[in-house]
Amino acid sequence: MTPNLCIELHAVDEMVGLAMRFRHIEGWLGDHEGYLLFRLARDAEGAGAIVEIGSWMGRSTAWLAAGSIATGRERVRAVDTFTGSQEHQNHDLIRREGTTYHRFTDNLEGVGLFEHVEPIIAESRNAARDWNGGAIRLLFIDGDHQYEGVKTDFDLWAKHVPTGGFVVFDDVAEKHPGVWKFIGELRGDSAHWQHVISVGKTATFQRIA
């Protein structure tokens, strides 16, 4: 068996193990998409913060935190109002408690990762205005899926991403035309951003200038 094949098989086993660990956390992020976040949080070059815009009940947060903690790196800053988007207002938990925050913390505590997460309970634009955490090496955008919302999240937060840093967008699909439109525009900015990989419904860009 070649060394490369051993490495690839280990990665498959690692992804399956993490998927089993996080299987009870509610959310729409696929395991292969989560593993992308895990690997970027663990292995991507550069220094700086990890910031997530939109956390829901902690599924993507868990993948990010697990990757970062695996190599003793920074905590994940999870930015969310925890009151759900407009389309989530009929969700049983939102109707019953008015917030997903308690489920978010319970989920992360249940997998031993909450201590590696710093929740920021705020609107994305307010959190960006108050941001003093320096450079952001990995930014995950999964907030408002309307075009203006995605563009605003990117404009406010990506300016903190240095050359070599990464931005990952979720829900890059035709069923989310706002996200789809913005990603098309960003692909055109080849002087500053390079599309690195698309996995499932995620798209990853690296700042090149």
Whole-number average pLDDT of the chain = 96
Number of domains in the chain: 1
Is the pLDDT reported for residue 86 higher than 90?
no
Identity at 85, one-letter amino acid code: S
Residue with tokens 């949080």: 41
Residue 6's pLDDT band (cuts 50, 70, 90) = confident
Inter-residue contact 42 to 68 (CB < 8 Å): yes
Inter-residue contact 117 to 61 (CB < 8 Å): yes
Given the DSSP bridges, would you call strands 49-53 and 76-80 parallel, antiparallel or unpaired? parallel
Q: Which residues constitute the domain of residue 135?
A: 3-207
46-65: pLDDT as tens digits: 999 999 999 999 999 999 99
Residue 45's pLDDT band (cuts 50, 70, 90) = very high
115-170: pLDDT as tens digits: 999 999 999 999 999 999 999 999 999 999 999 999 999 999 999 999 999 999 99
The predicted structure's pLDDT at residue 102: 97
Distance from C-alpha of 13 to C-alpha of 115, rounded to nearest angstrom? 25
Distance from C-alpha of 73 to C-alpha of 164, rounded to nearest angstrom? 17
Residue 91's pLDDT band (cuts 50, 70, 90) = confident
The predicted structure's pLDDT at residue 88: 81
CATH number at residue 137: 3.40.50.150
The predicted structure's pLDDT at residue 99: 95
Residue 20's pLDDT band (cuts 50, 70, 90) = very high
Distance from C-alpha of 117 to C-alpha of 99, rounded to nearest angstrom? 18
* DSSP assignment of 32-74: HHHHHHHHHHHH--S-SEEEEE--TTSHHHHHHHHHHHHTT-P
